[in-house]
Amino acid sequence: MIKFHAFKWARNRVLHSFWRMNGIRVPSQAISAEEMSAGVDGISLRSTEDPLVARYPCWNMLGAVDDVPRQIDQLSKQPDYDPAGEAWRGNLQIGYPPGQFIEVPQGSVLSRGALIFSQSHRIVTDLCGVPVEEFYMGSESDRFIPGCRQVSGRLLVFASGVAQRNYYHWVVEMLPQMRLFDQPDTAFDYLAVPQRKSFVRESLELMGVDPAKIIPLQRLTHLRADQLLVPSPASPYSHPSGVKFLREKMRSAPWSHFDREDRERIYISRKRRGSRRLIEENQLLELLQPLGFRPVLLEEMSVQEQIQLFQRAEAVVGPHGAGFTNTIFCRPGTVVMEISPSCRPRTFFHCIADINKLNFAIYFGRSVNQQGVDADISIDPQDFCQHLAEILYRQVHASELVA
């Protein structure tokens, strides 16, 4: 790792020397929030949605529930403890920021780290947490960046550090932001986005973005547009309007399976993943088969195939993972049973389930090979299937009463 950083430092020194002769000098002082509000360099802030406070009820918890408080108590003593686990019982209150974006006339975006500059080359913001020092190798008053390519029209910048490589964060934090630009007065001509994972381009095309209008952001890409559009960061919890926007957008697609009558019961396997693998998976699958479940490996499927699968799903079970993000596309009433290690009581999918009116439960298993808040999972397959069968029975019985 030390050698790698030394290489990067040496490489950037060489690049900076080149940019000094052929690039752009950058003022040392960034644009402050007060200056942005005052419209410095023509920057304007547009709001399309008001802030929202949403409340989510307690969730249905099964399995090794009593082990969760002990795990949280132990993890809270570690210096890198993430307090997100403290709301594990549900009963959440989430404050969502307003739907906003800034317009930067003759603004530019640099690299997949998404450094945003104004028309006078002052830095406006950094969307991905990439240190500006990665590009500024000189003194505080001697900063240079590579020259830029001009893009005609309105360029939307879609970038977030974690979302570039994590399906959950991409679908929850970035993709719903498309709703802010779904009107004629907020439309864009091109979209600049890092493409480190195939799901980025796949999902944008499914949203109706012309592939010819998507511009990849690489490490040294620098684009200047007539008008740069930069959405404000979104919450890591699914926004109710965002969930409904994505679900209905995909439901209206010509390839949608949302209204098909044939339904499926699926088990999401993580046997090829590096964590949260189910120790007793083979035994569980034997018990799930009579209940009509089949195992799926989502990593072998395209984004469209995953969406179609969840659109027609009657029931979804499996270990906690980004695959459950696709419950955004499920029909109301779908049974969802998430299996989680007791050291990772995350409520993200609980929120999606409440927004989508899904029949959701979480089953806590014993943490195995634990590293921080991550671990493989051990459960009692018989106990799990007993709870699942009861939920399915109640669901089917309720449907028959409605019919």
pLDDT in tens, 172-186: 999 999 999 988 889
* pLDDT tens by residue, 222-233: 999 999 999 998
DSSP states along 247-302: HHHHHTSTT--TT-S--EEEEE--TTSSS--BTTHHHHHHHHGGGTEEEE-GGGS-
Q: Calculate the dihedral angle through the C-alpha atoms of 361, 364, 369, 375, rounding to the nearest 10 degrees.
A: 30
Going along the chain from its start, the domains and CATH numbers come out as 23-48+97-234 (no CATH), 53-96+244-402 (3.40.50)
pLDDT above 60 (res 378): yes
Alpha helix ranges (H) inside 207-280: 240-251
Token pair 């018990």: residue: 287
CA angle at 85 for the pair 82 and 91, rounded to the nearest 5°: 140
Q: What is the amino acid identity at position 122?
A: R
Q: Where are the beta strands (DSSP E) in 158-218?
A: 190-193, 214-216
Q: What's the CA gap between 5 and 10, in Å, rounded?
A: 9
Q: Which residue has the higher pLDDT, 4 or 43?
A: 43
- Return the structure tokens found at 351: 């929120």
Among 6-20, 114-128, 242-256, which stretch is predicted with the lowest mean pLDDT?
6-20
